[in-house]
Amino acid sequence: MSQHYDIIIAGGGPAGLTAAIYARRAGRSVLLLEKEGFGGQIATAPKVENFPGFSAISGAELADRMYTQAETLGASIELEEVLSIQPGPVITVTTDYGVHTCTALILATGMKRRTLGLPGEERLSGVSYCAVCDGAFYAGRDVAVVGGGSAALQDALFLADTCRTVTVIHRRAQFRGDPVLADALRARDNVELVMDTVVTGLLESSGALAGVRLQNTATGETRELAVDGLFEAVGQLPQCKPAESLLSLDENGFLPVGEDCRTPVPGVFAAGDCRTKDVRQLTTACADGAVAALAACRYCGA
């Protein structure tokens, strides 16, 4: 018979690992489940420069440090995919390897960035999904942003403050994002808006991005644009499938949970990028992990 845990954490990214650290320091028995790789999206970042205490550290090293800390504190950590969750006074979590039970459950399943699906996209340096994280690397250089929602427009405005030029590429004739943001971009001298256009290929030089190949969807005309960085803001894919039977997701597929990380389901909490929030950064994921862990510890009682 499997062990009963005080707290099970679904997801081994920064939110889940932080929750494991806090819960173990509070003396709770913890099982952390991760279906792919520990550290979440940050594990693939070549350099992290906005995490307090480190002027620069690779995402892989930071993820490894967090994993080691949770493991050293005594958290049980397993590579298992959560398939279903049954709520109740005793919460039952079924995975591809078996069944586990707990008093409190923290959903920290994260999200994945939607990509363009182009050859070299994951390999080339110069392709980024976070302007706040990586924008400083391109100060004084030429970059492009692809996307038409508010996130893409906000990224372009952020980059326009430091980059030499910013080209915003959108596949439609009109932006889907806030018109105020679009107007702000039009007022910038170093921003060009390229509409009815898709990115069909990436140009490279010595393993780094050198430019993008563009095609106008109305005329079929193709051209190449030289840029040092490409920032993709074409949507996010929340990994909330295991929770669909417990909670109604918001219109974008995220868990509609506030800053207290409490869901309407007794004993179930949500932390990190899987929940509805305005800011998705490494530091906010860790903050969520701490909040959710302490709330889960209180729920478990004495």
Specify whether 89 is located in the same domain as 138.
no
61-75, 155-169, 230-244: which has the minimum mean pLDDT? 230-244
Catalytic (active site) residue 102: no
Q: Tell whether 121 is covered by a domain.
A: no
* 15-20: average pLDDT: 98
Specify whether 95 is located in the same domain as 166.
no
Q: Tell whether 118 is covered by a domain.
A: no
Specify whether 205 is located in the same domain as 69.
no
Q: Report residue 144 as tokens.
A: 């492009």
Q: Return d(Cα 27, Cα 292) in angstroms, integer.
A: 15
Tally of structural domains, the chain = 2
List C-alpha distances in Å: 240 to 82, 84, 163, 247, 274.
Answer: 10, 11, 36, 10, 7
The reported pLDDT for the residue numbered 83 is: 95
Helix (H) or strand (E) holding 34, with range, is strand 30-34
* 178-201: average pLDDT: 96
Q: Tell whether 284 is covered by a domain.
A: yes
| Cβ(162)–Cβ(184) below 8 Å | no
| Cβ(32)–Cβ(78) below 8 Å | yes
Specify whether 32 is located in the same domain as 101.
yes
Q: Pick from 179, 211, 232: which residue ends a domain?
A: 232
Specify whether 228 is located in the same domain as 146.
yes
Q: Tell whether 28 is covered by a domain.
A: yes
Specify whether 135 is located in the same domain as 158.
yes
Encode pLDDT of 45-59 as tens digits. 767 888 999 998 988
- Which CATH number is 220's domain given? 3.50.50.60
Q: Tell whether 258 is covered by a domain.
A: yes
Q: Within 10 A of 173 (CB to CB), how many other CB atoms are there? A: 10
Q: Pick from 232, 259, 286: which residue ends a domain?
A: 232
Q: Pick from 232, 253, 276: which residue ends a domain?
A: 232
Encode pLDDT of 256-265 as tens digits. 999 999 999 9
Specify whether 107 is located in the same domain as 207.
no
Q: Which of 6, 102, 134, 273 is catalytic?
A: 134
Specify whether 223 is located in the same domain as 246.
no
Q: Tell whether 209 is covered by a domain.
A: yes
How confident is residue 122, by pLDDT bands cut at 50, 70 and 90? confident
Q: Tell whether 105 is covered by a domain.
A: yes
Encode pLDDT of 203-212 as tens digits. 999 999 999 9
Q: Return d(Cα 18, Cα 180) in angstroms, integer.
A: 37
Encode pLDDT of 274-299 as tens digits. 999 988 889 999 999 999 999 999 99
Residue type present at position 218: A
Does pLDDT of 214 surpass 90? yes
Specify whether 147 is located in the same domain as 214.
yes
Contacts of 81 (CB under 8 A, 6+ apart): 33, 35, 95, 96
Q: Which of 102, 130, 261, 300 is catalytic?
A: 130
Catalytic (active site) residue 130: yes
How confident is residue 1, by pLDDT bands cut at 50, 70 and 90? low
Helix axes 179-186, 150-160, angle to 10 degrees: 30
The reported pLDDT for the residue numbered 101 is: 97
Q: Which of 133, 261, 286, 297 is catalytic?
A: 133
The reported pLDDT for the residue numbered 261 is: 96
Over the chain, what is the mean pLDDT? 93
Specify whether 133 is located in the same domain as 219.
yes
Domain that holds residue 282: 4-112+236-300
Specify whether 216 is located in the same domain as 266.
no
pLDDT above 90: percentage of residues in the chain:
75
The reported pLDDT for the residue numbered 114 is: 85
The reported pLDDT for the residue numbered 302 is: 62
Specify whether 102 is located in the same domain as 246.
yes
Encode pLDDT of 65-106 as tens digits. 999 999 999 999 999 999 999 999 999 999 999 999 999 999
Q: Return d(Cα 112, Cα 269) in angstroms, integer.
A: 20
Q: Tell whether 43 is covered by a domain.
A: yes
For 37-123, strand residue ranges (E) read 76-79, 82-86, 91-95, 99-107, 111-113
